[in-house]
Amino acid sequence: MAAAAALALASPLRRLLRAPHPRGAIPAPYYVITRGRCGAAVAVAAAAARDSAVKGNVDRNAAEEVRNILDMAERASKRRDVFHTNFLTPPIIKEAMLAIDKLADIKAVAQGGYPQAERCRISVGHADSMTSNPDVVAALSISGNFRLEPCSHGDFLGAILGTGITREKVGDILLQGERGAQVLVDPELVDYLISTLEKVGKVGVSCSQIPLLALEYEPPRTKSFKTVELSLRVDALASAGFKISRTKLASLISAGDVRVNWTPVLKSGVNLRSGDVVSVSGMGRIKVTKKTKNAIIFSYKL
């Protein structure tokens, strides 16, 4: 039955995965920007915002993503319509929302399904067209008996991607221990996942849609600490922040388990700056909040 359902949905799924900006709408915005200026200035503002994004503190891929979002915003303004991105990482969300703020007559909403969501979708449209918050995020409960076979974030994500869905269609994954996990996804993929997702790791699972208000999440907990290092390299600061050796951190970097601003780090010699977030799979994150000429770093452990 699952195979038949998957076959029936194969063509719609392929079309959906090719479509960059499906339509839809959400409750509670993560960020909201509304600007109103002369509509004739949209193209000029968009060009300036694109240049600003490229020169900003984002890598080449992120800058390209921001440019695409700005192009979408410009089209939305001209057509007096509303368009939606896929799920985006926090750095791209931040840069895109700052850039959209320079556009005329545009309203933008970024939403990930709950207040602390990291991965969000941005909806952009002419201020007169987007009169309500778009509904573009759905929540799924993936249930199973994980008491003897505990599964990680990567296990759940791998199982979802194994059905043929791309990463950009999946938002945050909230682990629930022995019970399973709650996952934020593109609403148009809900029926497909319910019919095709049967296992996570070795555990048989059932999948059902739940309201966003049923999501179970904890507010982020932070702990401040200070370290004095002679180097601002990621291996020096992260080994101090996570209290592991540089050798161990180097092996984690080689395995692709270390990210700076949600982008995998490939070399130990990458230098960090104030505001950078370093995450290590299974260990959490640290955020560099201040640095001085004496290389005294104040950070929050998240």
**Domains of the chain, start order:** 25-126 (no CATH), 138-214 (3.30.70.330), 223-301 (3.10.290.10)
Length of the chain: 302
**130 and 73 in contact (C-beta within 8 Å)?**
no
Residue 5's SS3 state is: helix
| pLDDT (0 to 100) of residue 202 | 92
DSSP states along 78-116: HHT-EEEEEEE-HHHHHHHHHHHTTSSSEEEEEE-SSTT
Provide the residue-wise pLDDT of the chain in tens; the chain has 302 residues.
444 444 444 444 444 433 443 333 333 334 455 544 434 444 555 555 455 544 444 567 778 889 999 999 888 888 888 999 999 988 899 889 988 888 878 889 999 999 989 899 999 988 888 877 788 999 999 999 999 888 988 899 999 999 999 999 999 999 998 999 999 999 999 999 999 999 999 999 999 999 999 999 887 677 777 777 777 888 888 888 888 898 998 888 888 888 888 788 888 888 888 888 898 877 888 888 776 665 556 666 66
Note the Cα 178 to chain centre separation in Å.
25
| pLDDT (0 to 100) of residue 1 | 44
Note the Cα 89 to chain centre separation in Å.
3
| pLDDT (0 to 100) of residue 257 | 85
pTM: 0.70
| pLDDT (0 to 100) of residue 110 | 94
Contacts of 54 (CB under 8 A, 6+ apart): 63, 67
Residue 241's SS3 state is: helix
Cross-strand partners of 278: 260, 286
Q: To which residue do tokens 């995965």 refer?
A: 17
| pLDDT (0 to 100) of residue 119 | 94
| pLDDT (0 to 100) of residue 127 | 82
**Cβ burial, residue 221 (10 Å; 0-12/13-18/19+):** exposed
Cross-strand partners of 175: 181
Amino acid sitting at position 215: L
Contacts of 186 (CB under 8 A, 6+ apart): 16, 22, 24, 86, 87, 136, 137, 138, 169, 170
| pLDDT (0 to 100) of residue 299 | 65
| pLDDT (0 to 100) of residue 134 | 82
| pLDDT (0 to 100) of residue 295 | 54
| pLDDT (0 to 100) of residue 15 | 40
| pLDDT (0 to 100) of residue 10 | 41
| pLDDT (0 to 100) of residue 205 | 96
Tokens read off for 270: 């990458």
User: For residues 22 and 190, what is the distance between their CA atoms, to the nearest angstrom?
Assistant: 14
